[in-house]
Amino acid sequence: MASCSLIPPASSLVSSSLCKLFTSRNSMATVGLLSFAPKTSSFVLLSIKQRAYHESSFRVRSVAAPVEDVAGFDDMVAGTQRKYYMLGGKGGVGKTSCAASLAVKFANSGHPTLVVSTDPAHSLSDSFAQDLTGGTLVPVEGPECPLFALEINPDKAREEFRSATQKSGGTGVKDFMEGMGLGMLVEQLGELKLGELLDTPPPGLDEAMAIAKVMQFLESQEYSMFTRIVFDTAPTGHTLRLLSLPDFLDASIGKILKLRQKITSATSAIKSVFGQEQTTQQDAADKLEQLRERMIKVRELFRDTDSTEFVIVTIPAVMAINESSRLRASLKKENVPVKRLVVNQILPPSATDCKFCAMKRKDQLRALDMIQNDPELSNLTLIQGPLVDVEIRGVPALKFLGDIIWK
């Protein structure tokens, strides 16, 4: 049997004062041992003990994935240019744990890292065992290099929407539509008492706020330090809406601008006679055009094979595999690059006469065979994650999980 330490040597990828600062502040000591048969695909027991100066000791046990499964983490961590990783899949398959463990691994490998939850039902706080609520950047305690987390706050986003759509006591939508030359339409709607509806946050606001954050990542100096950004996405349906939103907004804005152009050309002669100003209308059109250009940038980012990758997370169950296959097909249609498939919660071969374990294991092997025969999934790098006997919570436990999955 061969043994290796769970604590990898410090990476020299990014040598910065930020890493040194975070290392000096790290108060957590972790001791662990991983044992495996190096040239076999058998499963063996591994354990890790974690100690904190202010916490009691506890033990996490799991079964390691086959040793030939390699996630290609060396490629993921290589280079200092910024890269985006989006982890998504069916609800309840362990997306948050995988995303958080990847973020911890990036930070411990020398990359200033940001992990972002775009799921309205956030779990990052639970995963890191730290309060990350509030919709602002929060430093995560423990990693050797800077690691920050952000949970997009839907309530805060709705309040910002209401504030942004109100102007001089009137509805912001009315002001905007008047600027587009459609004020008469809004007045007619006002007679129907639809003012509150106009100021109500629209469906898909959560996805829109996630897109807004992505634009901030691209443009704001506040986020320039991060070389790795990891997204813990919502379940499949929400994520597909998020990825298709830039195309939808681009097309919608284009139609609005064409409508405005037709209305403007029809009324320009009359307005020129009466000397009415068109500055407000032009400002509104310019803002829409700017938004359209930013949406194009986000769309290009989602499809950039050099800087973006979507990682599908699933479990070895027939329904989960089928949904993952459909997700892969949808991502291919959106031209979103996908290279890896994480199959989480895999059971070991039973060493006892446990009939339940044997049946469950047989069912999982059937699901794994489905992956090999699935035209959408078979060409992806397969990463097998272990089933552990406790919840993975806190940076030490996430480091433990990341060292198993992200090899």
Q: What residues are labeled active site?
A: 119
Residues 6+ apart with CB under 8 A from 243: 302, 331, 334, 336
| Contacts with 236 (C-beta within 8 Å, 6 or more apart), sequence order | 88, 89, 90, 91, 323, 326, 327
Does an H or E element contain 246, and which? Answer: helix 236-274
Q: Which residues pair with 342 in a beta bridge?
A: 313, 383
301: its two tokens? 């980012």
Within 79-153, residue ranges assigned H as helices are 95-108, 124-128
**How far is residue 380's CA from residue 312's CA, in Å, rounded to a whole number?**
10
Task: Kindly list the distances between the CA atom of residue 273 and the CA atoms of 108, 116, 262, 276, in Å, as whole numbers in the listed order.
Answer: 68, 54, 18, 8
Query: Closest by alpha carbon to 402, among 130, 59, 76, 150?
Result: 76
Integer Cα distance of 406 and 70 in angstroms = 8
Structure token digits, residue 403: 């060292």
**What is the residue type of 91?**
G
Residue type, 336: V
Check if the beta carbon of residue 57 is closer than 8 Å to that of residue 49: yes
Angle at 43 between CA 46 and CA 66, to 5 degrees: 105
Cβ neighbours of residue 402 closer than 8 Å, sequence gap 6 or more: 101, 102, 104, 105
Dist CA 19 CA 225 (whole Å): 12
